[in-house]
Structure 1
Amino acid sequence: MRTFRALLTTAATMAAGVALVMAPGTAEADTATTAQKAWSCPSGYVCLYTGTAGTGQRCYTDISIERWTTPSCNTRKFMSSFNNGTAAGGVNHVHAYTKYSYGGGDYHLVRGNKGRLTSDEHPTGISIKSIKWTSS
């Protein structure tokens, strides 16, 4: 009976997790699988990837986040990004910051652009701590 109850608890927890990822206005993470194509990013979201060219673990959001505290996202270094925002409402540019409260380095991610987040100074990627959606 305990094993069956544990399975039910696990199933309920997994179902709740899936519902959370699918809810609008979220900032979440998932691990890319072999079935997931590079640069996979839902329409209306900005996606950050731990690998180059839109590969690796993906963290994404469609809202501004002053303190990105999702554990699987705020402890990662990102090597590439894709702003798959929409033109609706004119708020389609993203500013990704290396510090909380929109501070530190500012990476401007223009709608529709896919790019790298590495440089000579940051060859292993950058940590993003806050994200702001803007009109420019």
Structure 2
Amino acid sequence: MAPSAASASTQAAWDCPSGDLCVWTGIGGTGSRCTWSNADADWYYAPTVCSWADDQVVGSAKNSGTSSSYNWVILYMRANYTGVCYAIAQHGGTLPNLNHWFRSHRWSASGSC
């Protein structure tokens, strides 16, 4: 499945495809959504561009990952997996009220940054 960015206007809160990381502009899985099925070193550039990430904070995030090798996704505030980070456990783990800037993420076997 190719990573994509999509509007949340037609989606229920916390609607996130199985296997993906989803982030929203609003709290509680609401607002505009971006999704990825793979790691991304810079959300501002290809392969996936999160159209709003350069001028809006991430309000909430969900890890719908299903990998037996990677139990976590790590969100980083800067490109190339640097800066302050937050870890989200897979199988529907959420961070419902973030209000932070993020710019990259990767899947991890542990919740350590």
**Both structures adopt the same fold (TM-score exceeding 0.5):** yes
- 2:101 aligns to what? 127
Q: Greater relative contact order (Cα 8 A, min sep 6): structure 1 or 2?
A: 2
Equivalent position to 1:77, from 57, 61, 72:
57
User: Which residue of 2 is the match for residue 55 of structure 1?
Assistant: 30
Match of 2:8 in 1: 32
Question: Does the residue aligned with 2:51 lie in a helix, a strand or coil?
Answer: helix
Q: Is the 8 A contact 2:24 2:30 kept in 1?
A: yes
**Which structure has the bigger radius of gyration?**
1
Structure with the higher helix share, 1 or 2: 1
Distance 1:71 1:134, change over 3 A: closer
How large is the RMSD of aligned CA atoms in angstroms?
A: 1.5
Contact 1:40-1:54 within 8 A present in 2 as well: yes
CA distance in 1: counterparts of 2:51 and 2:15, whole angstroms: 18
Unaligned runs of 5+ in 2: none
Residue equivalent to 2:42: 67
Q: Percent identity?
A: 32
Equivalent position of 2:80 in the other structure = 101
CA contact 1:29–1:73 (8 Å) conserved in 2: no
- Unmatched 5+ stretches in structure 1: 1-23, 119-124
Alignment size in residue pairs: 104
Q: Which whole-Å CA distance do the structure 1 matches of 2:71 and 2:2 have between them?
A: 14
CA contact (8 A) 1:117 1:126 kept: no
CA distance in 2, matches of 1:117, 1:132: 20
Listed one character per residue, the Cα deviations across residues 59-96 of structure 1 (whole Å, up to 9, x for unaligned) are 111111111121514313111111000033x1231000
TM-score by length of 2: 0.83
- The Cα shift of 1:115 comes to 2.0
